[in-house]
Amino acid sequence: MENRPLIGILVSKRNRRKVILQLCQRYQNLNLKLYAFTPADILWKKKRIIGLSLKKGKWIQSSFPFPHVVYNRCFNKKLMTMQRLENVIGRKKIFNNINFFNKWDLYHQLKQANLHSYVPDTFLYKEVNISELLEKYKLVYIKPIYGFQGKSVYRVELTESQDIHISMHSLAPRYICRKNESIQQQLDELLGSPKYMVQQGIRMRQLDYKYFDIRVLVQKDIAGEWTISTIACRVAYENYFNTSMCEAVYEVTEVLTRLFSQEETNDILQSLHEVSLKAAEEAEAHMGSLGEISVDFGLDEQSRLWIIELNGKPQKNIYNDIEGFKHRKIIYGRPMEYAYYLSQSGLH
């Protein structure tokens, strides 16, 4: 056996193996041996894994021993495979083992931490009266507890005429509930069975009449410490509130300096750093071993920051849209650094 640490990258499908391996391989310069595999590639009885790796410039599939560390890029909320792997390779040798976050649990966690001032009021859909919340906030968002990429997020607004507008992705209402109709009944029919939560709607600042959010990528480094790798802004299409379907992505300073003075920009950046690091620590305390997450923020009309959500499997292809993006080596290299760190811990 070579004495290089063996790092396994777990992906959901075989056609994803080469894509993620190429990026991790290209941007890491540590003495690591990498291979990518899927849950179906694990031969439990033989204690071997069928994996894809790069050997002398060629992509080769072969049989490997279990790795020292696993970087999970499989979008999952069930732990069975992870627990079985941990039983073989050891506890805390897998990171991002749960990365499909339960948003309700996390909001609860952040509320109890000293981040409550950054978290909008949030309720379980089945436990509240929507009409009362609309009277109080005028605007709410209804989100699936296990949601991603802004799918099935409804924006519900009480207008001055007392009609209620329900919209999805764009601001134009898909449904209008007249003031004498039951909003609860209409929403129950619309939402069906998945579990939803309701969140106080924040009136967001806009850039050229377009909504935007701020995504902070937080990753662990070679010393095992949380660090900020990059901060970007996703700008939605005009008349859309869903920034997951965005028109453009910019470096954060490019957007902030158009809206604020240099001093205000620096203050916002400092808050983004501090709050994101704290949110990552809280998420890890709650979810178990993590090596990277992204924290999405909104800025309201009073320039106050709000945490919109946390993601356990940050999409990195959004940075391809930033012209002259300088942090590609960092965002793909850091998980390899952290994997190296984990492979060394417990050896000394």
Q: What percent of the chain has pLDDT over 90?
A: 75
Q: Is the pLDDT of residue 348 over 50?
A: no
Which residues, other chains included, contact 50 with Cβ-Cβ below 8 Å and sequence gap of 6+?
A: 37, 41, 43, 61, 62, 63, 64
Q: Is the pLDDT of residue 77 over 90?
A: no
pLDDT at 69: 96
pLDDT at 76 over 80: no
Q: Would you give the distance in Å from CA 202 to the centre of its chain?
A: 20
Are 241 and 169 in contact, with CB atoms under 8 Å apart?
Answer: yes
Rounded CA gap, 235 and 134, in Å? Answer: 27
What pLDDT is attached to residue 18? 95
**Token pair for 89:** 């390779």
CA 147 to the chain's CA centroid: 10
Q: Can you tell me the distance from the alpha carbon of 43 to that of 250, in angstroms, rounded to the nearest whole number?
A: 44
Q: Which of 26, 1, 18, 16 is nearest to 333 (CA)?
A: 26
User: Mean pLDDT for the chain?
Assistant: 92
Whole-number pLDDT of residue 235: 96
Give residue 174's identity as a one-letter amino acid code. Answer: R
Domain ranges of the chain: 6-95, 103-117+204-315, 122-200
CB 185 within 8 A of CB 253: no
> What residues form DSSP beta bridges with 141?
155, 199
CA distance 336 to 74: 16
Would you say 305 and 115 are in contact if contact means Cβ atoms under 8 Å apart? no
> What pTM value is reported for the model?
0.93
pLDDT digits (tens, 9 = 90+) for 256-292: 999 999 999 999 999 999 999 999 999 999 888 899 9
**323-348 average pLDDT score:** 88
In whole angstroms, give the CA distance from residue 174 to residue 168: 7
Question: Are 308 and 214 contacting, i.e. CB atoms less than 8 angstroms apart?
Answer: no
Helix 252-259, helix 262-287: angle, nearest 10: 130
**Residues contacting 91, CB < 8 A, separation 6+:** none
Q: Does domain 103-117+204-315 match CATH 3.30.470.20? A: yes
The distance in angstroms from the start CA to the end CA of the chain is 19
Q: Scanning the structure block, which residue is given the tokens 């339960």?
A: 102
Question: Which amino acid appears at position 268 of this protein?
Answer: I
At 68, give phi and psi (nearest 5°).
Answer: -75, -35
Q: Where are the alpha helices (DSSP H) in 27-182?
A: 80-89, 103-112, 130-137
Which of residues 76 and 227 earns the better pLDDT score?
A: 227
Q: What is the mean pLDDT of residues 284-308?
A: 94
Specify burial of residue 72 (Cβ count, 10 A radius: 0-12, 13-18, 19+): buried
- Look at residues 283, 274, 249, 339 and name the one whose alpha carbon lies nearest to residue 100: 283
Closest CA to 94 of 280, 291, 227, 311: 291
331: nearest Cα among 293, 297, 298:
293
> Mind spelling out the 3-state secondary structure of 206-246?
EECCEEEEEEEEEEECCCCCEEEEEEEEEEECCCECCCCCE
